[in-house]
């Protein structure tokens, strides 16, 4: 679900979509990579957050990302990450670097210190809903 939220909120405007080929390959490839990285951060990184997601994509080229995923342990969590990453690996090797670049440019809003600050921590837990009164504002456009 978080993958869908990130990608829907970073998709290109309708004007650009009409000018481009409309090939869904790139978005699907970015989705598979993003999902694998989110699993990796969730299971293997302390305090996962959106700035860490951006840093992972920007700080690692395609070969380094592949190395990270192949070295994951054969635990339940490692297998989940590897299985998600195997979808990304189905893309032709010559295009994988472009997929990483495409994902990095989609989430480059996280270069801004203000965006990093707002997304690096949360004072809300979904588990608190049942224990105390909360107000949740959802913006859907």
Tell me, yes or no, whether 61 lies in a domain. yes
Question: Most distant CA pair in the chain: distance in Å?
Answer: 52
Tell me, yes or no, whether 47 lies in a domain. yes
What whole-number distance in Å separates Cα of residue 117 and Cα of residue 43?
22
Tell me, yes or no, whether 133 lies in a domain. no
Rounded to an integer, the average pLDDT of 77-105 is 94
Triad 35, 115, 39: Cα angle to 5°: 15
CB 57 within 8 A of CB 103: yes
Q: Provide the domain limits for residue 97.
A: 2-121
Can you list the positions of beta strands (E) in 73-122? none
Structure confidence at residue 124 (pLDDT): 63
Report how far Cα 7 is from the mean position of its chain's Cα atoms: 8
Report how many domains make up the chain.
1
Tell me, yes or no, whether 100 lies in a domain. yes
Tell me, yes or no, whether 89 lies in a domain. yes
19-56 pLDDT, tens digit per residue, is 455 678 888 899 999 999 999 999 999 989 999 999 99
Structure confidence at residue 23 (pLDDT): 73
Rounded to an integer, the average pLDDT of 58-80 is 95
């Amino acid at each position: 679900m978080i993958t869908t939220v990130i990608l829907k909120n970073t998709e290109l405007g309708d004007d650009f979509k009409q000018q481009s080929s409309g090939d869904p390959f790139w978005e699907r490839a970015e989705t598979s990579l993003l999902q694998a990285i989110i699993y990796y951060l969730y299971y293997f990184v302390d305090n996962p957050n959106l700035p860490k997601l951006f840093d992972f994509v920007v700080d690692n080229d395609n070969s380094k990302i592949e190395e990270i995923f192949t070295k994951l342990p054969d635990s339940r969590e490692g297998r989940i990450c590897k299985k998600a990453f195997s979808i990304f690996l189905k893309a032709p090797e010559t295009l994988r670097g472009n997929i990483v670049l495409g994902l990095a440019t989609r989430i480059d809003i996280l270069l801004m210190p203000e965006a990093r600050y707002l997304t690096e921590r949360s004072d809300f837990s979904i588990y608190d809903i049942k224990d105390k009164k909360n107000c949740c504002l959802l913006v859907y456009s």
